[in-house]
């Protein structure tokens, strides 16, 4: 991708990567190959009730956003934080480009890009780049 910005929406099964800039928006959908469904903890049960992190899936997402200048990570639950931790541990150049992490449910692609544009403009103003 040759875009300057990206927003990633991720859950434990799918990631939508929307790279954008002056030339428009490119969309990529990546799916986890894990056959383990996302589990929820049940009261009075042993163990955390959590599926293991799909590191191969997170690596593919990280590679999809390599070279992007500013990135917003979004999603409805814990996968976004797990992705950021994975990127921090194994993809330091990508980690440096992450401008924020936001909790969102299931927005449309247009809503994601609009939110990312707004968030990234605010980050530029705070950093003195506007």
**How is 41-78 classified by DSSP, letter by letter?**
--TT-SS---PPP-HHHHHHHHHHTTT-SEEEEEESST
Average pLDDT over residues 59-69: 96
pLDDT grade for 1, boundaries at 50, 70 and 90: very low
Whether 66 is in a domain gets the answer yes
* Domains identified in the chain, total number: 1
In this predicted structure, what is the pLDDT of residue 129? Answer: 56
Whether 86 is in a domain gets the answer yes
Whether 94 is in a domain gets the answer yes
Phi, psi for residue 101 in degrees, rounded to 5: -135, 125
DSSP 3-state of 4? coil
Average pLDDT over residues 76-93: 96
CATH code of residue 68: 3.30.420.60
In this predicted structure, what is the pLDDT of residue 94? Answer: 97
Whether 41 is in a domain gets the answer no
Whether 87 is in a domain gets the answer yes
Dig out the tokens for 82 from the structure. 């797990």
Smallest CA-to-CA distance from 109 within 74, 80, 70, 83 is with 74
Whether 44 is in a domain gets the answer no
In this predicted structure, what is the pLDDT of residue 86? Answer: 97
- Evaluate whether 40 touches 47 at the Cβ level (below 8 Å): no
The domain containing residue 64 runs over which residues? 5-32+49-127
Whether 42 is in a domain gets the answer no
R_g of the chain computed on alpha carbons: 15
Q: Which residues of 91-107 are buried (b: 16+ CB within 10 A; e: fewer)?
A: beebbebbbeeeeeeeb
């Amino acid at each position: 991708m040759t875009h300057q910005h990206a927003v990633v929406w991720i859950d434990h099964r799918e990631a939508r990567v929307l790279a954008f800039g002056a030339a428009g928006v490119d969309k990529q959908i990546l799916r986890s190959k894990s056959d383990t469904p996302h589990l929820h903890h049940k009261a009075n049960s042993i163990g955390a009730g959590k599926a293991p992190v799909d590191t191969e899936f997170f690596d593919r997402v990280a590679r999809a956003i390599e070279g992007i200048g500013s990135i917003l990570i979004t999603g409805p639950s814990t996968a976004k934080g797990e992705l950021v931790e994975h990127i921090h541990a194994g993809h330091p150049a990508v980690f440096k480009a992450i401008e924020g992490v936001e909790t969102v449910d299931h927005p449309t692609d247009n809503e994601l890009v609009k939110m990312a544009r707004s968030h990234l403009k605010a980050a530029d103003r705070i950093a003195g780049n506007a």
